Amino acid sequence: MKFKQLHHQNTPLLICNVWDANSAKTAQKLNFKAIGTSSAAIAQMLGYEDGEQMRFDELLFIVKRILASTTLPLTVDIESGYSRDPLVTAGFIKTLSELGVVGINIEDSLVNKSRELINADAFADYLNAVTEQLAKDNVDIFINVRTDTFILGTDNVLEQTIERIKRYETANIDGVFVPCITNISDITAVIESTDLAINVMCMPELPNFEVLEQLNVNRISMGNFLFDSLAADLESKIIDVLEAKSFAPVFDN
């Protein structure tokens, strides 16, 4: 089944977010229908802070290893496009598509000293230029646009989110990702504001999958939280070894 169609089933598409070949293999073993990279997890794995500090070619190497290790549909997080030039970004997306990547996430914020939203009109123009170039190049790929209004807690956050979605709709995109949205009424308002597929993300207060299905959410992501949890477990296990002065904790269930 094509990746785009997976967003329009009776149940939301649950994306397993991965960061290397091994995590991708685990997702396939557990019968996920699709996987997506977490740029934050990959950046941390490579020793970078989140926010386009790693180069696109470094991301590309990881993507190639993931693709070689699984047959699952893969969507790739390209942060803010790795360029402010939409033609360069379109070229990156074309490269990913030619490798077999079926979708991308692209976000409307940039990290300088801190994360800040890009002007909505400017980002809409940028998206239009990207998708126009992809159409010229006959690149068919799922474009999922992440808006960071809830992450950043902007004033009038729901209204700002819906306004940005309306502007981005003009760019012939396929879906909108709204990380950190958790309130049922907010999720409902966003879904009712657009025909685009709506993607939510793992958060402590996020309703369970059954409720999200009832709300007609199209896609659920895990973000970098699995990676962070495993990293914390690793640190805890090493501390156990140091305190025990023995490797016995490594083998404890």
**C-alpha dihedral, 78 to 6 to 218 to 228, nearest 10°:** -50
* CB-CB contact of 180 with 150 (8 Å): yes
> What percent of the chain is modeled with pLDDT above 70?
100
* CB-CB contact of 37 with 19 (8 Å): yes
pTM assigned to the model:
0.95
CATH match of 5-222 with 1.10.645.10? no
Q: For residue range 69-86, list pLDDT tens digits in order.
A: 999 999 999 999 999 999
Q: Which two tokens stand for residue 161?
A: 């989110």
Q: For residue range 210-233, list pLDDT tens digits in order.
A: 999 999 999 999 999 999 999 999
* CB-CB contact of 133 with 86 (8 Å): yes
Q: pLDDT-based confidence at 113, cuts 50/70/90?
A: confident
For residue 59, the surrounding DSSP H or E stretch is helix 56-69
Q: For residue range 48-107, list pLDDT tens digits in order.
A: 999 999 999 999 999 999 999 999 999 999 999 999 999 999 999 999 999 999 999 999
Q: For residue range 173-195, list pLDDT tens digits in order.
A: 999 999 999 999 999 999 999 99
Across residues 187-207, what is the average pLDDT? Answer: 98
* Neighbouring C-beta atoms of residue 136, cutoff 10 Å: 9
Rounded Cα gap, residues 129 and 205, in angstroms: 36
Q: Which two tokens stand for residue 208?
A: 């369970």
Listed residue (90, 83, 142, 146) closest to 117, CA to CA: 146
Q: For residue range 117-158, list pLDDT tens digits in order.
A: 999 999 999 999 999 999 999 999 999 999 999 999 999 999
Provide the residue ranges of all domains of the chain, joining segments of one domain with +: 5-222, 225-253
Q: pLDDT-based confidence at 1, cuts 50/70/90?
A: low
Strand order in the sheet with 219-221: 13-14, 219-221, 197-201, 175-177, 142-146, 103-107, 74-77, 35-37, 16-18
Judge whether residue 253 has pLDDT over 80: no
